[in-house]
């Protein structure tokens, strides 16, 4: 930045300075000769011009320059701050979520799943001002565009990695570990997809459990039999979940609020839609071709991404579990051994609890507001021949000969399961569909 605006004739302060130089020079240089000093008049004039020009012209210009520099540095700091909003107070993330829910003392009643009463939730919305666009002067420099740290160190993302169901948490982990902007861009697209699928699969299992029917659900069932499911199908189902809230309550604590559209149409659904649009753009020939393009697309995408992750926070309360075994005890309860499919670590924590209802061995469930609800056939754990280990998969489509085509969340490997086909295309009322009674 310079002392005067360029070109100088557009800057009133440049004119002001010039005026003082000329005026004081002429006034003193051409004024009456003063006998008390020994200098000639023209030298007096020159000195006066220099003095008044500096004091009344250059000094204010310097002050103005410093003020402008200060303002720019503050705006940059603000911008950086809005890119890394701090996590709103959510004690749920750190508190042991299972403790309140699974009472393991044998003396307690047979009632299963003691859910905390729904507490009024503070809106977890992070205001995301549109920064950096209104003023050309503050366009991101190439260093900002290429910087992987804002996403790698984002506290919003780190909290979600630790607390969300595995598919979403795993995708966010990849995003944070990405070493360059192209990898990070692809991981951001995958994170949008994983977040949508995790939320929607949970909601769809619940919709089937409460026997709700929506047009998006019917479309989902049709797509399973035909071309397969896309991220758009899942999002469409999510957009209709709140129609059922009045009749059936909500899938899990906080989900109805998360799916509500906020002022001006903002909210989780809006963010997920933006992420879907970016995915579609990328899939249909609009992939960024280099790190700078990927970086600048990420700068635009990051607010929606962080916002979506923040607003999906109720997922941290909808524990996904994988039942390893269930046995009937002398206390008249089922003793369930399960893995908690939460967080980004693929070695899941083991939990044990009692249930008044049996749960199906090797099925996935999620903790709804009224008990565990089976996620089969939308999400299942299956052995993958390529990875040589069990993988968490989601149903993608039904193949007439091979059965349900499952896709692994982690790497898209396809696994076929002929037995699930009937579940997927007919209303879901199999044994152990839910634990509530
Ligand atoms: Zn695999």
Q: Does some domain include residue 90?
A: no
Gap from CA of 244 to ligand 1 centroid (Å): 36
Gap from CA of 320 to ligand 1 centroid (Å): 20
Confidence at residue 130, expressed as pLDDT on a 0 to 100 scale: 45
Q: Round to whole Å and give the CA distance between 93 and 421.
A: 36
Q: Are residues 186 and 277 in the same domain?
A: yes
Q: 391 with 374: CB under 8 angstroms?
A: no
Give the tokens for residue 110.
């047979």
**For the residues 282-300, what does the mean pLDDT come to?**
95
Is the pLDDT at 306 greater than 80? The verdict is yes
Gap from CA of 389 to ligand 1 centroid (Å): 7
Give the tokens for residue 266.
């903002």
Gap from CA of 395 to ligand 1 centroid (Å): 14
Secondary structure element (H or E) that encloses residue 406, with its range: strand 403-408
Q: Does some domain include residue 14?
A: yes
CB atoms within 10 A of CB 328: 10
Note the pLDDT tens digit of each residue in 307-364: 999 999 999 999 999 999 999 999 999 999 999 999 999 899 999 999 999 999 999 9
Q: Are residues 162 and 67 in the same domain?
A: no
Is the pLDDT at 72 greater than 70? The verdict is no
Burial 8-30 (b: 16+ CB within 10 A, else e): eeebebbeebeebbeebbeebbe
Gap from CA of 426 to ligand 1 centroid (Å): 28
Host domain of residue 49: 8-32+41-74
Q: 161 with 343: CB under 8 angstroms?
A: yes
Q: Are residues 339 and 206 in the same domain?
A: yes
Gap from CA of 322 to ligand 1 centroid (Å): 18
Gap from CA of 394 to ligand 1 centroid (Å): 13
Gap from CA of 203 to ligand 1 centroid (Å): 25
Confidence at residue 44, expressed as pLDDT on a 0 to 100 scale: 85
Q: Are residues 292 and 403 in the same domain?
A: yes
Longest dimension (CA), the chain: 120
Q: Are residues 225 and 361 in the same domain?
A: yes
Note the pLDDT tens digit of each residue in 160-198: 999 999 999 999 999 999 999 999 999 999 999 999 999
Q: 189 with 278: CB under 8 angstroms?
A: yes
Gap from CA of 345 to ligand 1 centroid (Å): 16
Question: Among the three residues 53, 74, 95, which one is the final residue of a domain in this structure?
Answer: 74
Q: Are residues 282 and 147 in the same domain?
A: yes
Gap from CA of 387 to ligand 1 centroid (Å): 4
Q: Are residues 229 and 340 in the same domain?
A: yes
Gap from CA of 417 to ligand 1 centroid (Å): 14
Question: Among the three residues 52, 74, 96, which one is the final residue of a domain in this structure?
Answer: 74
Q: Are residues 63 and 160 in the same domain?
A: no
Q: Are residues 67 and 200 in the same domain?
A: no
Q: Does some domain include residue 344?
A: yes
Q: Round to whole Å and give the CA distance between 197 and 212.
A: 19
Please count the CA atoms within 13 angstroms of the CA of 418 that sit on its side-chain side. Answer: 3
Q: Which residue has the tokens 């569909």?
A: 433
Angstrom distances, CA of residue 19 to CA of 55, 60, 223: 13, 14, 78
Gap from CA of 323 to ligand 1 centroid (Å): 21
User: Closest Cα partner for 203 from 371, 315, 358, 281?
Assistant: 315
Q: Does some domain include residue 217?
A: yes
Q: Round to whole Å and give the CA distance between 363 and 323.
A: 6
Confidence at residue 138, expressed as pLDDT on a 0 to 100 scale: 59
Gap from CA of 158 to ligand 1 centroid (Å): 25
Gap from CA of 418 to ligand 1 centroid (Å): 18
Gap from CA of 23 to ligand 1 centroid (Å): 83
Q: Which residue has the tokens 């009632």?
A: 111
Report the SS3 class of residue 205: helix
Gap from CA of 381 to ligand 1 centroid (Å): 11
Give the tokens for residue 32.
């009456």
Secondary structure element (H or E) that encloses residue 64, with its range: helix 59-83
Q: Round to whole Å and give the CA distance between 379 and 366.
A: 10
User: Which segment of 15-29, 81-95, 410-424 scores lowest on mean pLDDT?
Assistant: 81-95
Gap from CA of 304 to ligand 1 centroid (Å): 30
Could you give the angle at the alpha carbon of 198 between the alpha carbons of 234 and 100, nearest 5°?
140
Is the pLDDT at 99 greater than 90? The verdict is no
If pLDDT is split at 50, 70 and 90, which confidence band does 88 have?
very low
Q: Does some domain include residue 50?
A: yes
Gap from CA of 58 to ligand 1 centroid (Å): 70
Q: 302 with 151: CB under 8 angstroms?
A: yes
How would you classify residue 343: left for phi > 0, otherwise alpha for psi between -120 and 50, otherwise beta?
left
Q: Does some domain include residue 132?
A: no
- Residue 328 or 54, more confident: 328
Gap from CA of 235 to ligand 1 centroid (Å): 25
Average pLDDT, the chain: 83
Gap from CA of 382 to ligand 1 centroid (Å): 9
Confidence at residue 283, expressed as pLDDT on a 0 to 100 scale: 94
If pLDDT is split at 50, 70 and 90, which confidence band does 53 have?
confident
Q: Does some domain include residue 101?
A: no
Three-state DSSP string of 89-112: CCHHHCCCCCCCCCCCCCCCCCCC
Q: 113 with 367: CB under 8 angstroms?
A: yes
Model's pTM, two decimal places?
Answer: 0.68
CB atoms within 10 A of CB 40: 11
Question: Structurally, how many domains does the chain consist of?
Answer: 2
Strand partners, 409: none
Q: Are residues 49 and 161 in the same domain?
A: no
Gap from CA of 357 to ligand 1 centroid (Å): 33
User: Closest Cα partner for 281 from 300, 265, 266?
Assistant: 300
Q: Does some domain include residue 112?
A: no
Q: Are residues 291 and 407 in the same domain?
A: yes
Gap from CA of 406 to ligand 1 centroid (Å): 11
Q: Are residues 377 and 299 in the same domain?
A: yes
């Amino acid at each position: 930045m310079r002392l005067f605006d360029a070109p100088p004739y557009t800057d009133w302060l440049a004119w002001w300075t010039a005026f003082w130089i000329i005026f004081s020079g002429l006034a003193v240089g051409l004024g009456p000769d003063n006998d008390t000093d020994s200098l000639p008049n023209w030298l007096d004039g020159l000195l006066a011009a220099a003095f008044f020009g500096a004091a009344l012209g250059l000094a204010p210009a310097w002050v103005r320059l410093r003020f402008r520099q200060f303002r720019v540095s503050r705006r940059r700091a603000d911008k950086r701050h809005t890119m890394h909003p701090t996590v709103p107070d959510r004690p749920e993330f750190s508190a042991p979520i299972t403790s309140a829910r699974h009472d393991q003392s044998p003396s307690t009643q047979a009632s299963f799943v003691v859910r905390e009463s729904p507490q009024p939730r503070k809106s977890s919305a992070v205001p995301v001002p549109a920064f950096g666009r209104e003023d050309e002067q503050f366009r991101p420099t190439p260093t900002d565009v290429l910087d992987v740290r804002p996403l790698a160190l984002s506290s919003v993302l780190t909290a979600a990695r630790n607390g969300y169901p595995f598919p979403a948490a795993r995708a966010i982990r990849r995003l944070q570990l990405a070493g360059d902007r192209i990898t990070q861009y692809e991981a951001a697209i995958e994170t949008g997809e994983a977040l949508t699928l995790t939320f929607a699969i949970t909601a769809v299992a619940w919709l089937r459990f409460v026997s709700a029917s929506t047009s998006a659900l019917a479309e989902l069932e049709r797509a399973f039999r035909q071309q397969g499911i896309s991220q758009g199908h899942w999002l469409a189902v999510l957009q209709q979940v709140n129609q059922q809230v009045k009749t059936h309550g909500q899938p899990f604590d906080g989900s109805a609020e998360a799916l509500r559209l906020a002022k001006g149409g903002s909210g989780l659904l809006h963010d997920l839609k933006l992420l879907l649009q970016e995915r579609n753009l990328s899939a249909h020939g609009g992939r960024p071709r280099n790190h700078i393009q990927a970086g600048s697309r990420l700068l635009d995408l990051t607010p929606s991404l962080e916002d979506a992750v923040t607003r999906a926070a109720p997922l941290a309360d909808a524990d996904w579990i994988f039942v390893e075994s269930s046995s009937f005890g002398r206390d008249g309860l089922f003793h369930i051994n399960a893995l908690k499919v939460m967080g980004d670590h693929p070695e899941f924590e083991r939990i044990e609890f009692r249930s008044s209802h049996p749960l199906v061995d090797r099925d996935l469930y999620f903790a709804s507001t009224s008990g565990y609800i089976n996620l089969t056939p939308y999400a299942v754990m299956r052995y993958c021949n390529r990875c040589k280990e069990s993988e968490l998969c989601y149903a993608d489509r039904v193949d007439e000969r091979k059965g349900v085509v499952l896709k692994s969340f982690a790497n898209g490997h396809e696994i076929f399961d002929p037995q699930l086909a009937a579940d997927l295309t007919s209303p879901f009322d199999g044994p152990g569909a839910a634990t509530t009674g």
